[in-house]
């Protein structure tokens, strides 16, 4: 075997330097891809955590609204019961009136006054209950719309992040395959 001349040695050294530079570049590309994948994963995890927190808060608001509605309905039932009892009281007061002077008129007047007050407060409470019910229904609808919007945004974000991950993963595989091909070519050229 003949000894390689200086030019061949220089050429081989140059080729090896080129190869080493390309390997370093490919390794840096792989490192950057992995870093990018890690960033996207972290971002995805943070987004999922935020969405879970938002979902929890919305569920809590909905639960509070349901509890408020139940409370309002219970109050309405109590008011309706009181109204029935008030109408009975009204009938009793009328009977007392018809009975004539057997009872003191001040007592009857006091009963009538109490009845008027309770009827007035019942009317006011009924109006308030109607307003509260409308507000509760509006808030429930608003919360449902907001939850649907958040879920839609979450789905879009997940699709976008998954496509970014797939793209980065594809680029990483491409870089690795290119790096392997180049290494294989270098080995073949060195063996030849």
How many Å apart are CA 146 and CA 148, to the nearest integer? Answer: 5
- Domains parsed from the chain with CATH numbers: 6-191 (1.10.287)
pTM for the structure as a whole: 0.38
With b meaning 16 or more CB within 10 Å and e meaning fewer, what string describes 55-81? eeebeebeeebeeebeebeeebeebee
For the segment 77-115, what is each residue's pLDDT rounded down to a tens digit?
887 777 676 666 666 666 656 655 555 666 667 777 777
For the segment 26-79, what is each residue's pLDDT rounded down to a tens digit?
888 888 888 888 888 888 888 888 888 888 888 888 788 888 878 877 877 887
């Amino acid at each position: 075997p003949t000894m390689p001349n200086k030019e061949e040695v220089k050429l081989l050294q140059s080729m090896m330097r080129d190869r080493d530079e390309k390997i370093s570049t490919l390794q840096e590309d792989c490192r950057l891809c992995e870093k990018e994948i890690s960033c996207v994963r972290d971002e995805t995890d943070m987004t999922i955590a935020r969405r879970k927190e938002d979902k929890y808060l919305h569920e809590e608001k909905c639960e509070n609204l349901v509890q408020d509605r139940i409370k309002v309905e219970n109050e309405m039932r109590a008011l309706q019961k009181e109204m029935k009892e008030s109408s009975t009281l009204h009938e009793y007061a009328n009977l007392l009136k018809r009975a004539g002077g057997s009872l003191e008129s001040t007592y009857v007047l006091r009963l009538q006054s109490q009845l008027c007050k309770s009827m007035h407060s019942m009317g006011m409470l009924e109006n308030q209950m109607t307003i509260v019910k409308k507000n509760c229904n509006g808030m429930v609808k608003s919360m449902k719309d907001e939850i649907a919007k958040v879920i839609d945004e979450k789905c879009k974000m997940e699709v976008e992040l998954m496509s970014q991950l797939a793209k980065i993963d594809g680029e990483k595989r491409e870089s690795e395959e290119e790096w392997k091909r180049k290494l294989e070519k270098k080995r073949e050229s060195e063996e030849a």
